[in-house]
Amino acid sequence: MGVTSSLRRNNKSFLRIFMVLVLSCIPGRTNLCSNNSVTTPIDLPIRSSLDSLDLEGYISFNDVHNASKDFGNRYQLPPLAVLHPRSVSDISTMVRHIVHLGSTSNLTVAARGHGHSLQGQALAHQGVVINMESLRSLDIKIHKGKQPYVDVSGGESWINILRETLKYGLSPKSWTDYLHLTVGGTLSNAGISGQAFKYGPQINNVYQLEIVTGKGEVMTCSEKQNSELFHSVLGGLGQFGIITRARIALGPAPHMVKWIRVLYSDFSVFSRDQEHLITKKNGFDYVEGFVTVNRTDLLDNWRSSFSPNDSTGASQFKSEGKTLYCLEVVKYYNLEEANSMHQEVEQLLSELSYIQSTLFSSEVPYIEFLDRVHIAEIKLRAKGLWEVPHPWLNLLIPKSSIFEFATEVFNNILTSNNNGPILIYPVNQSKWNKHTSLITPDEDIFYLVAFLPSAVPNPNSGTNNLEYLLRQNQKVLNFCAEANINVKQYLPHYETQREWRSHFGNRWETFAKRKHVYDPLAILAPGHRIFQKATQLSPIQLL
């Protein structure tokens, strides 16, 4: 009787889907063809099946333009539909439905926050893009105590979290340089900025997650509960589940920051000082750096935001024709601590070997410093220079190879960096959780080197066009390969099985096994091109 009853239920489910598919093919039953993307007869029954789902939010088949591109602005891959969820149940329902369709459809799912991926990772061509920002909740729950934390939606932005936690004198400990990103997006990668040497990346500062797996299951996980899923998802490139909620560690928030920049002409001295600072227990709270190649009037440009310590010396300093290295550091403080802060900063600076005439500093509110990139974004948007191709390249370089890398790349491969900044700073491996899916070089100290150009058309020169910048990136990668530098990409993008296996190294088998456990049909995050959706004829495939 039990088997017969089960068969009847399965038959009824099949008949319901079958009728939806049949009815969707009858002219006049739907108005799904009024879409900017190309519609095929095969799409219609799939669309109708999606449209029949019982959701608190809604599905859009027409307004898919924004979900067709990302910040990298190099790919235009329209999805079949965009889900605007109002609940976690909406996401689970959608994923379960696509799993149920199985190989009868090519539907895949991409969770999209602010769309800040670079190589189409947030896209799902002819699949379903989930607009995670629709999941935002006004209910950002802050818990004070010995170990304060905040519970937030995976679609919440870090800038909103900062504004809300500051009301309680608290804030997250680790950041990204740009705060207008979603929690789920950065935790699926790592979340790195100048505080990472002290607190590790953002994925090291999470107590708990709520996940919708590739099977549509809603699961809560932490270090002690469903720990394998917890570690898989953190830095897991969206391959194992969609982050719908996160519990993030908080710490005391300062009122102000002392923000300092100094220059070096010798990379070995520059890197030595950076490494010295990230090993001090009571040093600066933020340590980054950047490279300038043949920049004109560099220090004059700083004057709009910083004050020189030696105005005459700064005016006489010439940056053009040189490769220079800027150390950028910050010390947090409260207003009543200003005097002691200044003494601490003077002591820290006395231990460094920078060019004395290039010391610039500023004192700004904590939130203004953390949201500094957004100010630049507003200016670029006003000039129409934000929504352009961004062929960025982010690399993690082991300390043992950083001098060799810098010598070749900054002196020979690059001729200028007028098209965008180049960040470079070290972090401590000891502050990073080795159990997450994030792949880093296997050394105690490694460097993030981020090439962040914008491909802005220039009628007078070909140096800023997209093809030139992509070739430059490839030259950097080719050099690393030829020099046998154990470089790892951050925000990785590869095209072949060999490259992905090389990236993961001896952790590839574990990564692939976990994919099979949590997303057996490989429907999640297709834009990374790691796995291909499984069919009836073959198991999960690597592209």
532 strand-pairing partners: 541
Q: 219 phi and psi, to 5 degrees?
A: -130, 140
| Residue 180 to residue 216: CA distance in whole angstroms | 28
User: Which residues, at least 6 apart from 142, have a Cβ–Cβ distance to it below 8 Å?
Assistant: 148, 149, 150, 164, 165, 168, 170, 250
Which among 540, 497, 505 has a CA at the least distance from the CA of 519?
540
Note if 156 is an active site residue.
Answer: no
Which among 92, 88, 83, 76 has a CA at the least distance from the CA of 131?
83
CA-to-CA separations, 473 to 301, 466, 477, 496, in angstroms, rounded:
27, 11, 6, 18
Cα atoms found within 13 Å of the Cα of residue 95, Cβ hemisphere only: 29
Look up residue 496 and give its two tokens.
């072949």
Look up residue 210 and give its two tokens.
């709520």
| Residue 222 to residue 478: CA distance in whole angstroms | 39
DSSP string, 58-122: EEESS--SGGG--TT-------SEEEE-SSHHHHHHHHHHHHHHGGG----EEEESS---SSSTT
Q: Which residue has the tokens 């700073």?
A: 425
CA-to-CA separations, 266 to 94, 164, 313, 445, in angstroms, rounded:
55, 42, 19, 20
Note if 43 is an active site residue.
Answer: no
Select which of 51, 177, 228, 363 is catalytic. 177
| Residue 481 to residue 475: CA distance in whole angstroms | 10
Note if 177 is an active site residue.
Answer: yes
| Residue 474 to residue 264: CA distance in whole angstroms | 27
Look up residue 470 and give its two tokens.
């992509």
CA-to-CA separations, 242 to 131, 231, 356, in angstroms, rounded:
12, 13, 49
CA-to-CA separations, 360 to 254, 271, 372, 521, in angstroms, rounded:
21, 19, 17, 54
317 strand-pairing partners: none
CB 296 within 8 A of CB 322: no
Helix (H) or strand (E) holding 162: helix 158-166
| Residue 356 to residue 12: CA distance in whole angstroms | 79
CA-to-CA separations, 83 to 182, 239, 486, in angstroms, rounded:
17, 19, 40
Select which of 70, 90, 210, 288 is catalytic. 288
Select which of 84, 97, 114, 116 is catalytic. 116
Catalytic residues: 116, 177, 288
